[in-house]
Amino acid sequence: MTNVNLRQFKPEKLYPPRGFIKPVIKQPQYLEIGAGRGKHALMFAHDNPDKQLIAIERTRNKFNDFADKSQQLSLDNLLPIHADAIPWTVHALGPKSLAGVFILYPNPEPKNASQRWLNMPFFEFLLSRMQDNTQLILATNIQSYIEEAEQQAKDLWQLSPIITNVDKGSERTHFEVKYLARGETCWQLELVKPQGYKTRFDGWVAS
């Protein structure tokens, strides 16, 4: 169960993104936040034709590049979305609709720690959209970021994170390729939402 002392997220205050169209959710459905130019999303969809992936990117030029590649490959199980992930998730996804979440090399927000994913009240809402016994994966090349995320997972979200080093041959994102080629260490945090985990949004659906 989440820590009820945390400031509560207020999804009812968020408007749908411009041009929002609610997707038809198929199962199993995965979500990638911050897809960039789509390297991981395209590989995941290609390698897992039985799984559906929604991949969200906010930056216009990155999204355009991603969308062009997706169209060329004609991957029916991939839905590229150009939007801010928070209002889009609020208005598009119902409770326990996700079979997994990827947040790979997010902006570390060095001047605004409150905007890091596991520090935000929104993270509770995101957990409510995940099915029981499903996994969230977060990756970064910043040791302080992964250490803070690990502590927040334990203290705020009452979860049991697993931290591992990313394999030196991994090529999930352009950032990952660049960091590993420079000899940097990259870390991965894995969270499993346990059976019976409760949030304050388990019954909340956008009107």
Residues, the chain, total?
Answer: 207
Confirm if 8 and 205 have CB atoms less than 8 A apart: no
Provide the pLDDT for residue 207: 84
List pLDDT tens digits, range 66-106.
Answer: 999 999 999 999 999 999 999 999 999 999 999 999 999 99
Helices 122-129 and 85-92 cross at an angle (nearest 10°) of: 40
Q: Which domains does the chain have, with CATH numbers?
A: 26-192 (3.40.50.150)
Confirm if 114 and 121 have CB atoms less than 8 A apart: no
Provide the pLDDT for residue 1: 61
Q: Whole-prediction pTM value?
A: 0.96
**In the structure encoding, which two tokens stand for residue 19, read together?**
């041009």
Give the DSSP letter string of 38-85. SHHHHHHHHH-TTSEEEEEE--HHHHHHHHHHHHHHT-TTEEEEES-H
